[in-house]
Amino acid sequence: MSSRRYAVIGTGAIGGLYGARLADAGFDVTFLGRSDVAALRSDGLHVTSATGPIDVLDVTAETDPGAIGPVDVVLVTIKTTAQATLTESLPALVRPGTIVVSMQNGFGLESGIAEVVPEAIVLGGMCFVCATRVAPGRIDHLDYGRVTLAEHTGDGQPAGPTDAVTAVAADFERAGVDVAIRDDLDAARWQKLVWNMPFNGLSVVLDAGTDVIMADRRLRETARSLMEEVAAAASVHGHPVGTGFVDQMLADTEAMTPYAPSMKLDFDAQRPLELAAIYDAPLGVAARLGVPAPGLSLLAAQLHHLDRMNRRGG
C-alpha cells in the first residue's frame, strides 16, 4: 500500500467520488471544504454507484488548509469559477515535490496552478464520468469514471509517463479507478473538450440532457459539428485528437446513462458557469491560430448571455 497522503480541495461530485474511492481503499485522505465539512464529519461520505456503494464513515475534513499541512498529493476538484481561492488554500498543502492534480474541466488550468505553487509537480486529471452531488457528503455515480493523467510542462511539450503520473495512476488503480496515462497534457485536455464544449453548452441552451440531444437527429448532428470544430482547433494547435475520436465520443454518449452535465446543474441552481475555462480559453487559442469556430463561438456567446441573466434572476 502506498504511504502517500492525499488532500482533496472540494467536496462536490468529483472530489467526493474519487476521494471516497481512495479513502475506502485505505489511503490517508483529508477533504478541504466549506459548508459540507460538518456533514462529512458527522455523517461520513456516501457514494451510490452501479459498481457498488461506498460508505466512508470516518472522514477527515477541514475548513482550514493550515490544519492539514503539506501532503504528498493534492486533488483540485473545485469549480474553475473559484480558481482564485487556490492562492489561499494550495500553498499550505504543498512542499517541494508535492503532486497537484487539476481534476477540473477546461484548458490551461495547470499553468495557473504552477504559478501559485511553483515548487509542486502539476498534473492534469481529465475525468470522463457521470456523477452528481445530491446532498452534502452524498454522491450519485451514474456511469463511466475513467481518469486520464498527464504532467504539465512549462513549455507545453509532452512530458511522457513521468514518475509522478505513474505514482498517482497506481494509487487510483488500487482504489478501483480506471486510469489512462498520456504523454501529452494538451492533447488530453483537447480530447476532453471535444465532449465538454458541445454537450455542456447544448444542455444549457436546449434545457436538455444527453439522452434528448442524442435522440434527435438534428441535435446529434449539431453536437457532431461542434465536436469537429474542437477537433480542428486541436489539430492546428499540434495535438490532433485522432481519427474516429468524435465517432467514439458520440457512441459513448449514446450508451451513457441519461445525464445532465455539470454546467446544466450549475445553471439550474443559478450558480456561475465555468465559461472562462471551458469556452473562452480554448476559443482564444483557436482565434490566435486562425481556426474558425463559428458554432462554438455562437454557443459561447449564448451561454455568457444566459449566465448573466440567470444570475440576475431572469
Rounded Cα distance between 111 and 102, Å, is 10
Q: What is the 8-class DSSP label of residue 143?
A: E
Cβ(137)–Cβ(44) below 8 Å = yes
Cα 71 to Cα 49, 82, 165, distances in angstroms: 29, 22, 16
Catalytic option among 21, 79, 133, 192: 192
- Known active-site residue 264: no
Q: Please list the residues that pair with 213 across neighbouring strands.
A: none
Rounded Cα distance between 74 and 120, Å, is 10
Which among 37, 45, 41 is positioned nearest to 9, based on CA atoms?
Answer: 37
Rounded Cα distance between 310 and 85, Å, is 23
Q: Which residues contact 132 (CB under 8 A, 6 or more apart)?
A: 13, 139, 140, 142, 260, 265
Q: Own/partner pairs for 211-217, CB < 8 Å, 24+ apart?
A: 211/256, 211/258, 211/259, 213/253, 214/250, 214/253, 214/254
Which residues are catalytic, by number? 192
